[in-house]
C-alpha cells in the first residue's frame, strides 16, 4: 500500500507551485504516480520527488508533457516552466527564450537546438513520433532517429531538421530561420573539431535535392545551402553540379 502523499507547504514558490499544478492535473485525470511513471518512462520515485516539488529539471520535463497527458493548459505549463527556469538561470544571464521559447534566431548551441525542437513539437500539439513521420514529406522522418535527437543523443542533419520542422507545420520563409540555426550550431561544432563523413554528407546532399523536387525550393533551398556551407568541402568530383 502506497504511503499517503504529504501536503505541500503554503506560500508561492516556483517548485511548489509546479508540484501543486501537476498534482491537480494528475488527480483530475484519475491517475496514480505509478501510472504517470509508466507513461513517461521514468521511475515512480522520480514522479514522487516531482510531486513533492523537488528538482527543477525534473519538474520542467514533467511540465512539458502534462498538458497533453492530462488535458491541461499549455499556457499555464509554460508560465510555470518559465518561472522555474528564470530562477535557475538568472545567475547565468541567459535569455529565457533560449530555453523555453521557439525562436530559432536565439539558437547557438547543440543543446539549444534540441530544446528548440522539443518546444516546436509542443507548439505543434505534441504529435507522436508516428504522427511526425506521417506528416513528413513522403513519410521519410524515421521515429527512431527523431527520438534519439529529442533525447539529446545526437544532432540532426540539415535533412532531418527540414523534415522535422515541416512535420511540425513550419512553412517558408519561417523555415529559413531553422536552417540558419542549424548552420550556426554546426559551424560552432566544426570550430570544436567536429567533422562530417564524406559518404554520409553526399547522401544527405542528394536527398535534399530530392526533397526540393517534392516540396519546392522555397522550403528546401535554405537547408540545402546550410548543408553545402558546412559540408561543401566534401563534395567529390563525380557529384552532380
Q: Are residues 88 and 165 in the same domain?
A: no
Q: Are residues 122 and 54 in the same domain?
A: no
Q: So what's the pLDDT on residue 175?
A: 92
State which of 36, 62, 93 marks the end of a domain. 93
Q: Are residues 45 and 117 in the same domain?
A: no
Count how many residues are written for the chain.
Answer: 241
Position 98 pLDDT exceeds 60: no
Question: Residue 82: which CATH number?
Answer: 1.10.260
C-alpha separations of 137 from 54, 62, 93, 125, 172 in Å? 42, 30, 39, 19, 15
Contact 55, 63 (CB under 8 A): no
How much is the pTM? Answer: 0.55
Instruction: Quote the domain boundaries for residue 133.
Output: 95-241
Domains: count for the chain: 2
| 3 lies in some domain | no
Q: Are residues 30 and 128 in the same domain?
A: no
State which of 93, 119, 138 marks the end of a domain. 93
Q: Are residues 120 and 217 in the same domain?
A: yes
State which of 41, 65, 93 marks the end of a domain. 93
Q: What tens digit of pLDDT does each residue of 165-214 get?
A: 999 999 998 899 999 999 999 888 877 776 666 556 677 777 888 888 88
Q: Which residues contact 40 (CB under 8 A, 6 or more apart)?
A: 47, 62, 65
Q: What tens digit of pLDDT does each residue of 112-158 get?
A: 899 889 888 888 888 899 999 999 988 999 999 999 999 888 899 99
Average the pLDDT over each of 57-66, 84-93, 129-138 and give the range with the smallest value. 84-93
| 218 lies in some domain | yes
Q: Are residues 177 and 134 in the same domain?
A: yes
| 2 lies in some domain | no
Q: Count the alpha carbons within 13 Å of 60 in the hemisphere toward its beta carbon.
A: 16
- Comparing CA positions, the residue from 63, 60, 113 lying closest to residue 89 is 60
CA 76, CA 169: separation in Å to the nearest integer? 23
| 5 lies in some domain | no
| 6 lies in some domain | no
Q: So what's the pLDDT on residue 198?
A: 56
Q: Are residues 69 and 110 in the same domain?
A: no
| 182 lies in some domain | yes
Amino acid at each position: 500500500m502506497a504511503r499517503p502523499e504529504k501536503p505541500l507547504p503554503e506560500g508561492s514558490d516556483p517548485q511548489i507551485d509546479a508540484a501543486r499544478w501537476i498534482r491537480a492535473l494528475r488527480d483530475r485525470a484519475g491517475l496514480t504516480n505509478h501510472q504517470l511513471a509508466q507513461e513517461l518512462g521514468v521511475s515512480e520515485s522520480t514522479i514522487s520527488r516531482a510531486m513533492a516539488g523537488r528538482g527543477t529539471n525534473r519538474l520542467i520535463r514533467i511540465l512539458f508533457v502534462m498538458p497533453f497527458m492530462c488535458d491541461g493548459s499549455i499556457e499555464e505549463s509554460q508560465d510555470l516552466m518559465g518561472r522555474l527556469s528564470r530562477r535557475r538561470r538568472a545567475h547565468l544571464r541567459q535569455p529565457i527564450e533560449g530555453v523555453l521559447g521557439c525562436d530559432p534566431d536565439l539558437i547557438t548551441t547543440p543543446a539549444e537546438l534540441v530544446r528548440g525542437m522539443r518546444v516546436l513539437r509542443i507548439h505543434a500539439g505534441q504529435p507522436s513520433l508516428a504522427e511526425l513521420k506521417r506528416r513528413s514529406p513522403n513519410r521519410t522522418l524515421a521515429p527512431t532517429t527523431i527520438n534519439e535527437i529529442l533525447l539529446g543523443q545526437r544532432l540532426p542533419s540539415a535533412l532531418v531538421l527540414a523534415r522535422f520542422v515541416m512535420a511540425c507545420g513550419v512553412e517558408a520563409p519561417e523555415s529559413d530561420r531553422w536552417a540558419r540555426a542549424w548552420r550556426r550550431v554546426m559551424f560552432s561544432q566544426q570550430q570544436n573539431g567536429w567533422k562530417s563523413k564524406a559518404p554520409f554528407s553526399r547522401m544527405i546532399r542528394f536527398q535534399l535535392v530530392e526533397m526540393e523536387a517534392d516540396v519546392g525550393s522555397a522550403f528546401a533551398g535554405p537547408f540545402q545551402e546550410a548543408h553545402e556551407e558546412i559540408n561543401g568541402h566534401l563534395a567529390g568530383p563525380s557529384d552532380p553540379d
